[in-house]
Amino acid sequence: MNRVAGRRTRRQSERMKDFDPAKSFLGETAEHNDDDARGDETETVALLTDLAGGRALEFAIGSGRIALPLLGAGTRVDGIELSPDMITVLRRRAAAAGLSVEVVEGDMTTTGVGRQYPLVFLIFNTIFNLLTQDEQIRCFENAARHLDVDGVFLIEAAVPSAWTATHNYVNAETIAPTSVELDVCRYDPVTQILDENHVRLDKAGVHFRPISCRLAWPAELDLMARLAGLRLRDRWGGWQREPFTADSVRHVSIYGR
């Protein structure tokens, strides 16, 4: 290996300094977590309603982007959430909508809620917020503990190539006369860690929203499921059960016993 390549490898393997995943969804991040809806909420709720049979548990329930409309559609939704600020926002929004949601503060790899469900779900790439393979496996094991006999665990996530066409990039997400939003990423294929920062520049200053993720291909998730006593039942390319193909940028995967 030449010196230039060696320096590049060392820089790429460094983790984002001073970043604590457990503290990355507090304060303003929690307040504005769902400001930018993805536009797929209606079809997401429709599929989850069909699978839930009236009851569901959401890992990393957040501030209720999906849980609240799912509750409104008649499904009882309980949640596990690591961020106390997210829970505060969720409860406030639920109360304003006249809804009731039970949330346990804790880690989705180990925290239990004391009951089982027809559906446990973890969406919006959140499996990747667990930064080691062991943690991701424990998440599958915890999901399995919460499933009833015929229950299923649903994961929705992008395929890694949606981010990693190049290992390092800056993408101009939005450009306006008075603001610019940039997506700045660095990916280490050895650790499978993607360090990402959404940077907004406007008249008020510079604003950062950092996050780190451990990306995994669907095949690796399938092996994790098997270690937890589950198997793949279905995989779709989106919430409308469209086929998962080589061109799919995300997957909705269903695991059961």
pLDDT in tens, 91-118: 999 999 999 999 999 999 999 999 999 9
Rounded to two decimals, the pTM is 0.88
pLDDT in tens, 159-184: 999 888 777 889 898 999 999 999 99
Q: Give the amino acid at 28.
A: E
The pairing of beta strand 102-105 with beta strand 147-158: unpaired
Instruction: Classify 127 as helix, strand or coil.
Output: helix
- 94 Cβ neighbours under 8 A, 6+ residues apart: 64, 68, 71, 100, 101
What sign does the CA torsion over 242, 248, 250, 256 have? positive
- 167 Cβ neighbours under 8 A, 6+ residues apart: 12, 186, 187, 188, 189
Instruction: Classify 210 as helix, strand or coil.
Output: strand
- Joined together, the tokens standing for residue 59 give 């890992």
- Joined together, the tokens standing for residue 10 give 């060392």
H helices of 21-180, in order, are 28-31, 41-52, 67-72, 84-96, 133-145
Residue 168 near residue 183 (C-beta atoms within 8 A):
no
* Out of 1-10, 79-88, 180-189, least confident range: 1-10
Residue 90 near residue 61 (C-beta atoms within 8 A):
yes
Taking the domains of the chain in order of start, what are their residue ranges? Answer: 21-159+215-256
Place of tokens 């609240």: 68
Nearest to 142 by CA among 78, 229, 76, 213: 229
Residue 35 has pLDDT above 90, yes or no: no
Q: How far is it, in rounded angstroms, from Cα 122 to Cα 127?
A: 7
Residue 15's pLDDT band (cuts 50, 70, 90): low
Assigned architecture for domain 21-159+215-256:
3-Layer(aba) Sandwich (3.40)
Residues linked to residue 102 through DSSP beta bridges, in sequence order: 78
